[in-house]
Amino acid sequence: MPAHTALEWGIIFAAAFGSGFLVRTFGMGVGIALTPLLTLAFSARFSLGLIAFTSFLASLGMARDMWRLWHARTMLLVFPGTVAGILGGTWLVARLPESQLRAVIGVLCLLFALHRLYAELARPSPEPPRIPLWLGTLVGGLSGLSSALANSGAVVLSLFLHSQNLSKTTLVATLWALYFFVNPIKLLAYWQADVIGAGTLWAGAAGLPFIWLGLRTGAWTHNRLPLRAFNLIILAIALAGSIRLLAIR
């Protein structure tokens, strides 16, 4: 097992809990809320790998609740582009210097968080503009790229799914299903690119009890905490973490 300080283990366990909690509650938000904060204590590559692994473990724990509730046609449409985006994004992650990788992660997370903050604060339109389904492959590519670079692919994809007028349950289940099937490819690509190593797997495995606790807490919270209030809290954390990440030289 890798040697970490007590503080570092606390951050790892908090990230494991957050992965289970956010994935179970909203199906997204793990990258923008947790990756910037983890990167303050660990390298960008370790942070990306750990969040990817804990998110995958959390998705396994949701399989019973989400199975076959997804929108199959939409998922199949975005799947090829998502895989291509993840492979391309992993190629970039393996080659960017640490400082540039921190900047890319910070900018992406900041942009996603600002967009979601605007969506929360702006007056909602009665009917969002519907995006043609043929654009799904392109959206999938952008989602995969964002997933590889900042673990924020679900945020990009959610914008497309929202435009398709899916129900809340179907939207979350489709997000879950896509990355449930894509994440093994992402983890393998991360392993080949040395983003994930034995230390990452040990840290993720050690966080399993906290992932389970996050899943249970997320299920309890889902129908009790006002969605708007919780989103604003998470986005505030993401904004602070992104700005702090960009400030590091």
pLDDT tens, position by position, 144-177: 888 888 887 887 787 677 767 777 778 888 989 9
In a domain, 1, yes or no: no
Mean pLDDT, rounded, of the chain: 83
Tell whether 243 is covered by a domain: yes
205 or 64, higher pLDDT: 205
Domain annotation covers residue 88: yes
DSSP H stretches of helix in the chain: 6-25, 30-41, 44-61, 63-66, 72-95, 98-121, 136-150, 153-163, 168-192, 198-206, 208-221, 227-247
C-alpha to C-alpha distance for 136 and 80, rounded to whole angstroms: 10
Cα 32–chain centre separation: 7
Copy the structure tokens of residue 46.
Answer: 């370790």
- Block residue for tokens 């809320």: 33
72 in a structural domain: yes
* CA–CA separation, 32 and 37 (whole Å): 9
Q: Contact at 8 Å (CB) between 209 and 109?
A: no
Residue 129 lies in a domain: yes
Q: Is residue 14 part of a domain?
A: yes
Is residue 220 a part of any domain in this protein? yes
Nearest to 29 by CA among 154, 126, 117: 154
Neighbour-count burial of 80, counting CB atoms closer than 10 A to its CB (0-12 exposed, 13-18 middle, 19+ buried) = middle
Structural domain range at position 210:
6-247
The whole model's pTM is what?
0.80
In total, how many domains does the chain have?
Answer: 1
* Residue 53 belongs to a domain: yes
